[in-house]
Amino acid sequence: MSDRFAQCRCCGHEVHDFALDDTGRCGGCKLDAQRRWDYRAEQRATVDLWPTIRSERDLRLMACDWTQLADVPDATRIRWQPYRQALRDITTQTDPAAIQWPDAPNGDSHD
């Protein structure tokens, strides 16, 4: 084992020369680079989920559009409004991988 020291090309720390990889980076910098890569990959995956979430939300809204028609009783219309608003607010949740979907009101059906 060598007692020679070298400076990391990334962070500037002095480390044993055997601790540097072939690009001149120390283990800490390699680990930091991997963490940054993992974080960016996680962020990309999160961004990619939003179009799917919006599509599902739109389908759920369309499925209950009938509840807001003029010939629907006021009680039914009012009962469905919070659900529909919760669907519109779905994109304010921070984690698209763990969406908390609201429950639709019970007791109404549309044939």
Q: Residue 80: its pLDDT value, please? A: 97
Judge whether 110 lies within some domain.
Answer: no
Judge whether 70 lies within some domain.
Answer: yes
Tell me the per-residue pLDDT of 10-68, one tens digit each, with 9 for 90 and over.
666 676 666 666 677 666 666 666 666 665 666 665 668 889 999 999 999 999 999 99
Q: Please state the φ and ψ torsions of residue 66, each to the nearest 5 degrees.
A: -55, -25
Residue 111 has pLDDT above 50, yes or no: no
The long-range contacts involving 52-61, CB below 8 angstroms and separated by at least 24 positions, are 52/96, 53/90, 53/91, 53/96, 53/99, 54/91, 57/87, 57/88, 57/90, 57/91, 60/87, 60/101, 60/104, 61/87, 61/88
Domain of 67, in residue numbers:
5-98
Count of structural domains within the chain = 1
Judge whether 103 lies within some domain.
Answer: no
Judge whether 106 lies within some domain.
Answer: no
Judge whether 107 lies within some domain.
Answer: no
Q: Residue 82: its pLDDT value, please? A: 97
Judge whether 105 lies within some domain.
Answer: no
Judge whether 18 lies within some domain.
Answer: yes
Tell me the per-residue pLDDT of 69-99, one tens digit each, with 9 for 90 and over.
999 999 999 999 999 999 999 999 998 889 9
Show the tokens assigned to 81.
């409004």
Question: One-letter amino acid identity for 93?
Answer: Q
Judge whether 86 lies within some domain.
Answer: yes
